[in-house]
A and B are shown apart, each in its own frame.
Chain A
């Protein structure tokens, strides 16, 4: 048989994929299956497991802390969607104009927080929102010349707004990059035609720009939702591991972490994980369905 026979190619194909397949099965497929079993057990650390059936899910539904975590996470998610994305889109519109001077330097500046990464931004954010010492209170006190503003305890009293503000700082520029890319899809001749036909800026936005940006916007919304619902590092670092006073800043993944790694119940933690996964998949399906329906209506 010649060296170039198809068999050799099949051998190469499998050989090239083997390291990936082995690791993928061990560290992805197996944990996924195992998480379903774990959710049906109560555990104390990885050693002791007691089968409890659907008890974990029954407890979860009646667990007020879990609902509090869902509530907080949803507030954060809605905050990121309804404040962050319009701001990102607005910035993209402004910075897309070729006539604007210094637009590439502005893009770079707005994007730059993304380079710091979530964990390090969390540390900087925690420092900036400290009372007395933090940049935020000191700036507020300096602008208003009211020294009492130095005492605002953001981390203890206003944790949700603080989380949303820090995530604005971190993600607006990042999402702006997506929208800028999407704006390249806008047909300039269509825009000019609309302008000649007397369409004002708002009309052009509504009838020409937004329809061409929509596919990317849908994607950005989905991505932000998936990311926001899994929020962990930011509140974890700001609140030093606990949920803050009265669990005001507890998120779903923080609750998963607390149950699995502070209380040692990997089973209950997996149940929380499945509840979150179902929420995420449900949201994704709703969005796919909405896009399909819209396409069908056109």
Chain B
């Protein structure tokens, strides 16, 4: 076999393997979407679409949005609104507070700066699971159990954010620019808002996304902190739904679609920031 032919064969094999793997990744999505449109009776008829007399041999008219309307009737819309509120509030506050702190630790000179940097960065090695039990006890004593603030406040001060913003400021905000602004009479707050924030915009975008996603997907905190059903976000609501309606597959599938769709849309809009945001932990080493 000539080497050219061999490389052609190996390229086809590569493509075949990639296609197979891509199918394994994509198939569950298709299954999820189609099954969320099937009624309980139709669930077992056909792996994907229910067979029938319609176009392509599919019973199109037996597809239904009932699972979605049932979800709404069960108050699942409330959980979606909660998730959006928790994730965006947490993202905005966590980003702003850690950007301000990261900027100060990178550029200001004051007594105790080294100590503070060490404490904040050192706290990164604390595994979050260690804090589950004592945080619950603390929230109990503060009277913040089953309160939205008990869920949100602890997410507003991420040490990881300070680390990222401190680094971003060091890399992309020159001292001369800050000095020049001071000479021009710009206030310290003005320098931060007008000069520094625009220069670290990529990191702001990335961190907003990291924290938004982190809160959207957070399960253990709302599970422990919140008790009222009306306060639960999607992550907890969907797990409880499975506890009650384990065999109502269509309903669970619709709930999953509803929970994932906003993030998927966000991704399509902000693809670039997304990847850099999700991998910005890579500078951690």
Residues A31 and B242 in contact, CB atoms below 8 Å apart: no
User: Is A228 close to B, CB under 8 A?
Assistant: no
Expressed in whole angstroms, the Cα–Cα distance for A8 and B185 within the complex equals 13
Closest partner residue, chain A, to B191 (CB atom): A12
Residues B238 and A32 in contact, CB atoms below 8 Å apart: no
Contact with B along A122-139 (1 / 0, CB 8 A): 011011101011010011
Enumerate chain A residues within 8 angstroms of B138, measured Cβ to Cβ.
26-27, 30-31, 34
Enumerate chain B residues within 8 angstroms of A112, measured Cβ to Cβ.
25, 29
Enumerate chain B residues within 8 angstroms of A13, measured Cβ to Cβ.
104, 108, 110
Within 8 A of A (CB), among B86-111: 97-98, 100-101, 103-105, 108-110
Classify the interface of chain A: helix, strand, loop or mixed: helix
* A20 in complex: contacting residue of B47, B97, B252, CB < 8 Å: B97
Expressed in whole angstroms, the Cα–Cα distance for A178 and B275 within the complex equals 10
Which has the most chain A C-beta neighbours within 10 Å: B137, B154, B234? Answer: B137
- Assuming A28-B123, A31-B135, A110-B22, is B260 touching A120 (CB within 8 A)? yes
Nearest-neighbour CB distance to chain A for B141, whole angstroms, equals 7
Residues A181 and B130 in contact, CB atoms below 8 Å apart: no
User: Is B224 close to A, CB under 8 A?
Assistant: yes
User: Is A276 close to B, CB under 8 A?
Assistant: yes
Within 8 A of B (CB), among A1-53: 3-4, 8-10, 12-14, 16-17, 19-21, 23-24, 26-32, 34-35, 38, 43, 46
Determine, out of A64-72, A75-83, A205-213, A253-261, the stretch whose residues face the partner at the interface: A253-261
Contact with A along B57-86 (1 / 0, CB 8 A): 000000000000000000000000000000
Closest partner residue, chain B, to A141 (CB atom): B47
Expressed in whole angstroms, the Cα–Cα distance for A253 and B21 within the complex equals 31
Expressed in whole angstroms, the Cα–Cα distance for A31 and B157 within the complex equals 14
Within 8 A of B (CB), among A206-247: 215-216, 218-219, 222-223, 226, 230, 232-233, 236-237, 240-241
Residue pairs across A and B with Cβ atoms less than 8 A apart, 15 shown, are: A9-B188, A17-B104, A19-B156, A20-B97, A20-B100, A23-B97, A34-B134, A46-B141, A110-B25, A113-B25, A115-B267, A117-B213, A142-B47, A237-B242, A240-B243
Q: Known contacts A23-B154, A240-B242; can you find 15 more A-B pairs with CB under 8 A?
A: A12-B188, A19-B156, A26-B138, A27-B153, A27-B154, A30-B138, A32-B134, A38-B134, A110-B21, A169-B25, A173-B25, A177-B275, A241-B243, A276-B129, A280-B127
